[in-house]
Structure 1
Amino acid sequence: MKSKQLFLSLTLVAFLALQQCTASVGGGIGSGSGFARAIGACFVVDGRPFYSNGFNAYWLMYMASDPADRDKVTTTFQQAADLGVTVIRTWAFSDGGYRPLQYSPRRYVRGLGLDFVISEAKKHGIYLILSLVNNWDGFGGKKQYVQWARDKGHYLGSDDDFFRDDVVKGYYKNHIKAILTRVNTITGAAYEDDPTIFAWELMNEPRCESDLSGKTLQAWITEMAAHVKSIDSNHMLEIGIEGFYGESMPDRKQFNPGYKVGTDFISDNQIPGIDFATIHAYPDQWISGSSDGDQLAFVQTWIRAHARDAAAVLKKPLMLTEFGKSSRSPGYTVGARDAYFLAVYEAVYACARGGGPCAGAIFWQVMADGMAAWTDGYDVVFSQSPSTKSVIAQQSTRISNLNVPASNNKFVEGGFDNLVRGD
């Protein structure tokens, strides 16, 4: 009985979410000025549903900061447009180090490369998800923020004090304001007023392993989400979490890959100001040593569980904002990577087509020609990957076909329902 009730409830949730995506057909960046919005468990742009396919390219601002490297940025956007990709996730941070964006608290380089990235995205009709800080050490991250405070004589015990210390939180709030209110020197538009930006992301993969209850991170998200929204009410906001379940729904922790990181998918995404939920998926890291079949089964279950909760509990859209298959994994082949992408894409598409909350998938990651030294094993270089390009283009085409007014989009029986049931 409970199973049947859940099934009927989820069917209704999916149907209602689809029906909320109403109004007249309109364009995206190219033919309208509307911002992307979350209405129920659906994204809407200019009065129509918005489903997307995309990729990560975290290095765009770094390359754009040097005119000699800017061709890599332009070429990547052109390739994305040719493949029907409509969302790219990238960094809006580079804290200290070489080619920094912010070389010390409140001090920024002139002629931001990010201006060029946003202007190129706009030219090619592509939306950006911009992440504001890193949990990891790459490009500075929370470690650099904590070190800046230490350099000023402030005692901090660990990098997790990024989430607790008022001085460090003040540094980060200043960064948020600096980026959101910046006026693009190329387009003339303030970032907060530019619909090219799909959403802001609070942090790339936030973790607070010194407090596995999740309360420290929840308090930080609450504070920072309110700060973002007090400055910019135009854009959506997401957290950047990987999707690990926590204490709010202990029974859901069965879907985790066997460890905790101080996040809580349910509680974190229920915080006011958070417009949609995200998950990442790296079974080759999370359950390393398992077979390809077991890893694929894990990802399908992972997507299914989070789609169910996004629809029935959060009532918000869900995006898979990182997934990939590393060439450094045992037995790797391009064919295996393509098969993995196809399986992930099928799960996302089935959910979206059936009226569920899965609004798109963004794989990790694309790199341009001449970036071999940057490889992390997950990179896709389009000029070297014709079969993978074909898989990506196929997904872009079929998921973009869902971008029609709800009045013209028949609710597909069995799509989301089968995903929920696991059929």
Structure 2
Amino acid sequence: MEKMRHLFPLILLPLLLLSPHSHVEAAKGFIKTRGLNFVLNGNPFFAHGFNAYWLMTLATDPSQRSKVSSAFRDASGHGLLVARTWAFSDGGFNALQYSPGHYNEQTFKGLDFVISEARKYGIRLILSLSNNYATFGGKKQYVQWARNQGQYIALDDGFFTNPVCQGYYKNHVKTVLTRVNTITRIAYKNDPTIFAWELMNEPRCQSDLSGHTIQEWIREMAAYVKSIDNKHLLEVGLEGFYGSSSPHKQFNPSSQVGTDFIANNLIPNVDFATIHSYPDQWLSNSNDRFQLVFLSKWIDIHLQDSKSIIGKPLLITEFGKSWRDSGFSIHQRDALFNTVYDKIYWSARTGGSAAGGFFWQLLSAGMDSYRDGYEVILSEATSTSRTIALHSRQLRRLGKVHRKK
């Protein structure tokens, strides 16, 4: 879903908290896959994480960088190991790429800071390279740039097939992957702080519900990413919708969007599968209980397919519940978090494909303009914060058990 449409004293049990630098050693070595698992230096790695799309945006302004540091410090203190964030901002104010192939160095230095600060706190990063939506430019901006060059493109979905748009996208991929960090002096493609690249946030092509357009775009762009960087993992950015020919299409919460969870993730250069889940948005006319039942089934069927058909790890890279929903309570949000976390834990414990989950979204204190209803501020010491820290403990214990086998 397009979550940014609304924009523009810590009390935890000591045993649940970790030292802010507990995971700094994790910055050594690249994350790999082995069957249904992620591994780091041969040991199991569970991607307990969060979304914070705003990191580069705030880090572009040096006076705001303390919020980035605070977010990583709080996250590390609660056992969170991976952040998913944007490595794109196309056109508009303080854009990373303000016109095709032209970049704002100050904004790029903001992303440099994000990576260096993540490294400092032992946080890995999933960096998304583009957006399906017009927020921060996205495919709409690429299409407009191509139109400005005389290209006739009827729909924004032309992004996936127009050769000029494809060239712009590939240039952005190459520019980001070969960027040398001005702080660490390490090229992005050589930095193990980066967990994985993401082709696009929630790609959709509703002008071709057969799925062929998205399938071929993923195949081509995944191969291109790997031709530049074969050290890092790669994922697509999918929400998990099944294609029109899939026997599981009845599990989709809405109409087809031109993607196919199974076919898209079977592409060889895609290293792991992802799903998103927002039952409060997808099933907004149903009650909370019905939404939790849907969530449980949604995760189960994707875990099953990831294990038995795709044969790759699965990350639940977005989930959450908005306090803007009618009748919202913290208890409801905690129930949703616990449902996701329990699925991940039991799947991982029993040899399944679940390898981690990322809630939407983490904020630092004082970021009121970024509140979208889904925000979690760990320093507010809510029951949700305790739930997050508890899941971290469970995964750490499980990791130790797996290492002994």
1:344 deviates by: 1.4
Is 1:204 the counterpart of 2:201? The answer is: yes
The one-letter code of the counterpart of 1:47 is G
Alignment of 1:216-235 (within 5 A): 216-235=213-232
Residue deviations 1:299-343 (CA, integer Å, cap 9, x gap): 110110000010000100000000000111111011211121112
Q: How far did 1:219 drift? A: 0.5
> Would the aligned equivalents of 1:51 and 1:402 in 2 still touch at CA under 8 Å?
no
Structure 1 355/163 Cα, relative in aligned 2: closer, same or farther at 3 Å? Answer: same
Aligned to 2:30: 35
Q: In the TM superposition, what are the counterparts of 1:39-188 in structure 2 within 5 Å?
A: 39-111=34-106, 112=108, 113-188=110-185
How far apart, CA to CA, are the structure 1 residues paired with 2:178 and 2:302?
Answer: 33
Structure 1 residues 17-416: aligned runs within 5 Å? 30=25, 33-111=28-106, 112=108, 113-248=110-245, 250-404=246-400, 406=402, 408-409=404-405
- Whether the 8 Å CA contact 1:369–1:381 is kept in 2: the answer is yes
Q: Could you tell me how far apart the structure 2 residues matched to 1:318 and 1:218 are?
A: 19
| Secondary structure of the corresponding residue to residue 83 of structure 2 | strand
In the TM superposition, residue 359 of structure 1 has moved relative to its aligned partner by: 0.2
Post-superposition offset of 1:159: 0.5
The alpha carbon displacement at 1:384 in A equals 3.0
Runs of 4+ off more than 6 Å: none
**In the aligned structure 2, how far is the partner of 1:28 from the partner of 1:326?**
30
Shift of 1:152: 1.6
Deviation at 1:172, TM superposition (A): 0.3
Q: Deviations over 1:85-127 (max 9, x none)?
A: 0011000001111111111111111142110000000000010
Q: Is the partner of 2:248 in helix, strand or coil?
A: helix
3-state DSSP class of the match of 1:37? strand
CA shift, 1:408, in A, is: 1.5
Aligned-pair identity (%): 56
**SS class of match (1:404):** helix
1:256 positional shift: 1.0
CA contact (8 A) 2:90 2:98 kept: yes
TM-score relative to the length of structure 1 = 0.88
| Cα deviation digits, residues 109-155 of structure 1 (max 9, x gap) | 11421100000000000100000000011111001111111112221
Deviation at 1:52, TM superposition (A): 2.5
Matching residue of 1:416: none
Structure 1: segments with no counterpart, 5+ residues: 1-26, 410-423
Between stretches 257-266 and 74-83, larger displacement belongs to 257-266
Q: CA 1:107–1:49 in 2, change beyond 3 Å: closer, same or farther?
A: same
CA contact (8 A) 1:36 1:198 kept: yes
Aligned to 1:16: none
Query: CA offsets per residue over residues 319-378 of structure 1, 9 Å max, x none?
Result: 000000011111101121112111211111111111111000000001122221222111
Q: Structure 2 stretches of 5 or more lacking a match?
A: 1-21
Verify the 8 A CA contact 2:314 2:354 in the aligned structure 1: yes
* Cα distance in 2 for residues equivalent to 1:376 and 1:307: 29
**Residue number in structure 2 paired with 1:414:** none
Q: Deviations over 1:254-312 (max 9, x none)?
A: 21113110000000001120000000001111111111111001011011000001000
- For the 8 Å contact 2:170–2:224, the answer to whether it is kept is yes
CA distance in 1, matches of 2:400, 2:99: 46
Structure 1 residues 283 and 32: CA distance shift in structure 2, 3 A:
closer
Residues 290-299 or 369-378, more deviating:
369-378
Partner of residue 11, structure 2: none
One-letter code aligned to 1:100:
A
Where 1:52 maps in the other structure, the secondary structure is: coil
Structure 1 residue identity aligned to 2:265: N
Separation in 2 of the partners of 1:68 and 1:258?
43
**Shift, 1:405, TM fit:** 7.1
Q: Give the structure-2-normalised TM-score.
A: 0.92
CA distances 1:165-209 after superposition (whole Å, capped 9, x unpaired)? 000000000000000000000001000000000000000000000
C-alpha separation in 2, matches of 1:183 and 1:91:
17
